[in-house]
Amino acid sequence: QKEVEQNSGPLSVPEGAIASLNCTYSDRGSQSFFWYRQYSGKSPELIMFIYSNGDKEDGRFTAQLNKASQYVSLLIRDSQPSDSATYLCAVNRYDSSASKIIFGSGTRLSIRP
Amino acid sequence: KAGVTQTPRYLIKTRGQQVTLSCSPISGHRSVSWYQQTPGQGLQFLFEYFSETQRNKGNFPGRFSGRQFSNSRSEMNVSTLELGDSALYLCASSLTGGDNEQFFGPGTRLTVL
């Protein structure tokens, strides 16, 4: 089982609709959860982070965390063509006393006009 | 505030050579993490440096090494290059590392011939 799992996609969503991206993680001790957006040929860009169970909203983006189910999701409302990118879910993991960030393989999102 | 910078942006080397990549974090950030990104393996954690000490390490061979200077700038070195080392090498800057938000530089694209 991968530590951070995402559906690779592509996920195709019509412009203006809600895009829903999902991620599961294996380490119950994880405390920090991140969503990055990566355009082709560019480096990842942090768009959301969440530490507590529940929802966190920032503009058109909502991150949802359910630690009991080890599940984190990202909703993008009013999807725009510029949202077409790969979305990476990242979760912290503790090794001995040190923490590191583990990334999922990403979900490719395509917004069709 | 200036972002994370990485040099060089592109590099072409031949098998057996060695290479040194440089990363300057965001001012005030003391943690630098390095990642390797390939189409097949995604983003793989190499190591993290904080206050000039390697705090965490991924599952890469000893040919991959790094260091951090007192001004938080970091370098990573790959010796005896192999074809499979061709990848995008990303560094990420964080205030204190661990489970804090990370901000990525533009990356160094390494091609090994």
∠ CA A6-A95-A37, rounded to 5°: 30
| Contacting A residues, span 50-89, partner chain B, CB-CB under 8 Å | 88
The pLDDT of residue B62 is 96
Question: Is A34 in the B-facing interface, judged by CB distances under 8 Å?
Answer: yes
B43 and A44 within 8 Å at the Cβ level: the answer is: yes
The series of mean pLDDT values per 10 residues for chain B, 113 residues long, is 92 98 96 94 92 92 97 97 97 88 96 97
Determine the Cα–Cα distance for residues B68 and B4; give it in Å rounded to an integer. 15
Min Cα distance A24 → chain B (Å) is 16
Which tens digit of pLDDT belongs to each residue from A79-89?
999 999 999 99
**Count of alpha carbons within 13 angstroms of residue A30, beta-carbon side:** 29
Question: Are B105 and A43 in contact (CB < 8 Å)?
Answer: yes
Facing residues of B76 across strands? B21, B66
CB contact under 8 A, A43 and B99: no
Interface test with A, best of B32, B56, B90 (most A CBs within 10 A): B56
Q: Which residues touch B105 (CB under 8 Å, ≥6 apart)?
A: A43, B3, B4, B5, B6, B23, B90, B91, B92, B93
B48 CB near a chain A CB, below 8 Å? yes
Q: Which of A101, A102, A105 to mutate to test the interface with B (most CBs of B within 10 A)?
A: A101
B45, B103, B107 ranked by CB distance to A100: nearest: B45
pLDDT digits (tens, 9 = 90+) for A86-104: 999 999 988 766 788 999 9
Which pLDDT score is estimated for B97?
82
Residues of chain B found within 8 Å of residue A102, distances taken between Cβ atoms: 45
pLDDT of residue B91: 97
Would you call A32 and B45 a contact, using CB atoms and an 8 Å cutoff? no
> How many other CB atoms are found less than 10 A from the CB of residue B112?
19
Residue-level pLDDT at B1: 66
pLDDT digit string, tens, across residues A8-59: 889 999 999 999 999 999 999 899 999 999 999 999 999 999 999 999 999 9
Tell me the one-letter amino acid at A94.
Y
Q: Helix, strand, or coil here: B85?
A: helix
Q: Is B5 on the interface with A (CB under 8 A)?
A: no
Q: What is the pLDDT of residue B71?
A: 95
